[in-house]
Every structure is written in C-alpha cells, then in structure tokens.
C-alpha cells in the first residue's frame, strides 16, 4: 500500500485551519502563540510542509484541543 503524504498534509492543514477558525483565532495570533512566523503557519495549513510533532503539540495546546483532533 502506497502512502500519499501530500494528501495527509493537506488534510492536516485543513483541520488545523478549521479548528483555528472555530476558535476565532487568526493565523497571526496562532503563529505568535507557537513562536513561529505567520508564513510558516500558512504553509502548514496549505499542506506544503511536514510539521514536527513538537510543532503539532504546540498548535494543539494553543488551540485547546487534543493533538489527535488535528488528524480527524
């Protein structure tokens, strides 16, 4: 079975964006809370980069959700 990493990253990014918007948070505010650039967060949400587990943990804390929620 072949894994399509691009589709996983795009789904992950969409989920992060959806949860962020549900929390009424801008990309800029989330980026500041996780100590990264807004452009880097935008690339994560677009599925263009593969974020580290550490970054995903920071995002989940900032969005007040479980890390597994980012993948659902």
**d(C-alpha 44, C-alpha 48), whole Å:** 6
**d(C-alpha 47, C-alpha 27), whole Å:** 15
Mean pLDDT of 33-37: 96
Mean pLDDT of 24-49: 97
Who has greater pLDDT, 38 or 4? 38
Give the chain's mean pLDDT: 95
Distances, alpha carbon 8 to alpha carbons 24, 31, 50, 60, 69, in Å: 24, 21, 10, 17, 14
User: Which among 51, 63, 60, 57 is positioned nearest to 25, based on CA atoms?
Assistant: 63
Specify the pLDDT at position 17.
98
Mean pLDDT of 12-32: 97
Does residue 2 register a pLDDT over 70?
no
> Has this prediction a pTM greater than 0.85?
yes
């Amino acid at each position: 079975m072949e894994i399509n990493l691009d589709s996983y990253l795009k789904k992950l990014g969409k989920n992060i964006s959806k949860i962020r918007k549900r929390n009424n948070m801008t990309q800029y505010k989330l980026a500041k809370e996780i100590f990264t650039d807004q452009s880097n967060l935008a690339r994560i949400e677009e599925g263009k980069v593969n974020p580290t587990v550490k970054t995903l943990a920071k995002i989940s804390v900032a969005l007040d959700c479980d890390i597994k929620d980012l993948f659902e």
